Amino acid sequence: MPTFPLFPEQASSFASRVDALYFFLVALTVFFTLLIGGLLAVFAIQYRRRSDDERPSHVVEPKVLEVAWIAVPLAIVVVIFFWSAQLYISMNRPPANAMDVYVVGKRWMWKVQHITGQREINELHVPVGVPIRLNLTSEDVIHSFFVPAFRVKKDAIPGRYSVAWFQATRPGAYHLFCAEYCGTKHSGMIGSVTVMEPARFQAWLAGGASGMSLAAGGEKLFNELACVTCHRADSQARGPSLDGLFGKPVKLQNGETVTADEEYIREAIVTPVAKTVAGYQPIMPTYQGLVSEEGLLQLIAYIRTLKGPAGGEAPPAAAEAAKPDVKKARDARTP
């Protein structure tokens, strides 16, 4: 006999918590629907008008009743608020030891990169029992990464990095959907998440290795795009040094201070003039369209690995008039 499961299976650490809240809300709704609907019917019959000249008797509302219908719903919504807020917060705060996976949505596929450089399309392999942090973005329109069995759904938005996390509790293969209408083949933008035992996952990771980690790919791009000609630690540098930059505050020309996180670095590559670093000229050209979203993720992974003294402290170049060498690199990359 075919079965019609009403709910997807529970395969992540917060699946049962999400379901508990959901069932509580359903039960609450059913209870009050029956209560109010039932009372409505009973009262309509019991207090119906029995003759044309009947007049209602004077009613004095008891204060107790009034207090009750304010206090009881208030107590219920406060419970719902704290319950769901607590769940929301834990779903949005990946643990520090989470394994990073980079996902780029594109019409109409999911492109996945692992930190080791492994790439997948419409598939994601993860170990069981390990928290996974998904770093999502899109290279065209808004998509939404949805794995019902994990109760994970997060929008992948062009120009932004959004984070979601999960910890799979059982090995197996689970459906992956796009849950945001993104064009004609939106319904075909599906895939699967394969949860494996850690040892098998390691074997999978080692097999088919592309030979280059995410950060190494970023370093290669950094040299190919000639970023290195300007972003050097010496006094000839026309741009701020990137050593030890990641996660540090950066002083801008306009006096503001921002944190050098993924979002900031992405913007600095795609729209450099948006936030010029204090003490430097806004001479960096835009790399919009020259670096793919995956390339940006690689560059960020590389910049993240650069250790050293905090960036931005080297004295600015004595305003070298010479245009940076990037034009050549851009031409070289233009087919």
Rule CB under 6 A: choose which of 111, 186, 266, 304 binds ligand CUA. 186
Residue of 143, 151, 238, 266 interacting with ligand CUA (CB under 6 A): 143
Q: Name the segment binding ligand CUA (CB under 6 A); options: 181-189, 197-205, 252-260, 293-301.
A: 181-189
- Please select the residue that binds ligand CUA; options are 75, 181, 223, 286, rule is CB under 6 A: 181
- Least separation in angstroms between residue 153's CB and ligand CUA is 12
State the Rg of the chain over Cα. Answer: 28
Helix (H) or strand (E) holding 246: none
Residues binding ligand CUA: what is the number (CB under 6 A)? 9
What's the rounded Cα separation, in Å, for the pair 157 and 95? 23
- Measured CA to CA, the distance from residue 146 to residue 152 in angstroms comes to 6
Q: Which helix (H) or strand (E) holds 212?
A: none
The order of strands in the sheet holding 131-138 is 119-121, 109-114, 99-106, 131-138, 162-167
Site for ligand CUA in 67-106 (CB under 6 A): 105
* Of 166, 168, 165, 176, nearest in space to 198 by CA: 168
Segment interacting with ligand CUA, rule: CB under 6 A, options 50-58, 122-130, 175-183, 252-260: 175-183
189 touches ligand CUA by CB under 6 A: yes
Please, what is the minimum distance in Å from the beta carbon of residue 182 to ligand CUA? Answer: 3
Q: How far is the CB of 140 from ligand CUA (least distance, A)?
A: 9
Residue 219 lies near ligand CUA (rule: CB under 6 A): no
- Supply the angle between the helices 262-270 and 293-305 in degrees, to the nearest 10: 120
Q: How far is 212 from 266, CA to CA, in rounded Å?
A: 21
**Residue holding tokens 């972003």?**
231
266 binds ligand CUA (CB under 6 A): no
Q: Where does this chain bind ligand CUA (CB under 6 A)? A: 105, 108, 143, 178, 180-182, 186, 189
